[in-house]
Amino acid sequence: MYKILCLSTVDFDWMYQRPQQLMMEFSRRGWSVIYCNKTQREELYLEEIDINITICHNLKGLLKKGCSVDLVWAINPQYAGLKGIFNEKVFVYDYVDDFPFLILHHHRMVKVADVIIATSTPLLNTVKRYSKNAHLIPNGCDYQFFNASQNLKSDYHKNEKVKTIGYIGAIAPWVDLELIELVAQNFPQEEILLIGATLGGVKVPKIENIRHLGHQIYEKIPSYLNEMDVVLIPFKRNQITRATNPIKLYEYLSMGKPIVSTYLPELLPFNQYIYMSNNKEEFIESLSMALREDDPKLVEKRKDIAQQNSWQDRVNSIIEVLLKYL
């Protein structure tokens, strides 16, 4: 089977998302995976955590060793200069975000990558002008993991007489905290539950009915979702969010939850299953409707959609692309 080196933008044990999901699925299929953490430290070089998964804590050590792999999977565009260093057959650029501060590195990466995987249609349209080997592979979810956890109870002590409006994910500069504050003010009888680490110096509004529990391990996420009556994707509309394909969309859908979101291009195909809003007034109105929703068929349809967008399906599509080059 093949050997793959993943140059990630996130540590393996932090904010479990696309890089970890894809690499774990490759490993289940017999691929040998070296996952290079963002955080580097000399004292621990390689750490085997599973039969086919090794964490690299020291990329310089790996370079000195003269490691060879079949495929390099680069998420961080700053690693464009490593093309060919590992004697790989294929150098893949997984284009996941449109961050302005990485634009120069991104352009270098597009020039050197053998294959480009884009997570959204806007990102694909950006790169396919420069590369004939660009492919669309959106995000997904571990449907079985979420769907099998629908009876789990969290350590969050929910008031059963109060409905809970929830958000799960990084609380970063692209999250509209003013909108969350407006939600709390318009629904004073409901509890606003936020799960996720704060990034970029953002501060959660201090309002009585907002509860922020911070970063939680991936295994706990379904139990928190179980406590939520309605879930939010309250993103600002900017360059980053216009190109994003939110993982939380699929995870929310996997548990059939009513979803209220700001307008995002990547959510349009799911428009009939979620509540999407163009402004703050529409968002509050949509949230009111979502809280009143009582449609078991819609819940099941959302789960069906999530099942069609599993990480297993995504890896099937990726392997179909890669075998043309391997």
Mean pLDDT by 10 residues, the chain (326 residues): 94 94 97 95 84 93 89 95 95 93 92 97 94 95 87 74 94 96 97 95 94 94 94 95 96 97 96 96 98 96 97 97 90
CB atoms within 10 A of CB 200: 10
Asked if 134 and 299 touch (Cβ cutoff 8 Å), the reply is: no
User: So what's the pLDDT on residue 161?
Assistant: 80
Q: Using one digit for the tens of pLDDT, what is the confidence trace for 115-148?
A: 999 999 999 999 998 888 999 999 999 999 998 8
Asked if 124 and 118 touch (Cβ cutoff 8 Å), the reply is: yes
What is the secondary structure of 171-236 as a DSSP string?
A: B-TTB-HHHHHHHHHH-TTSEEEEES-B-TT------TTEEE-----GGGHHHHHHT-SEEEE-B-
The residues that bridge with 212 in the sheet, in sequence order, are 194
| Continuous segment of H or E residues that includes residue 13 | none
Q: Among 232, 190, 226, 228, which residue's Cα sits nearest to residue 210?
A: 190
| Separation between Cα atoms, residue 47 and residue 53, nearest integer Å | 9
Q: Among 39, 44, 17, 31, which residue's Cα sits nearest to residue 71?
A: 31
User: So what's the pLDDT on residue 41?
Assistant: 85
- The structure's pTM equals 0.94
Asked if 102 and 78 touch (Cβ cutoff 8 Å), the reply is: yes
| Separation between Cα atoms, residue 30 and residue 60, nearest integer Å | 26
Delineate the domains of the chain, giving CATH numbers in brackets. 3-140+310-322 (3.40.50.2000), 143-307 (3.40.50.2000)
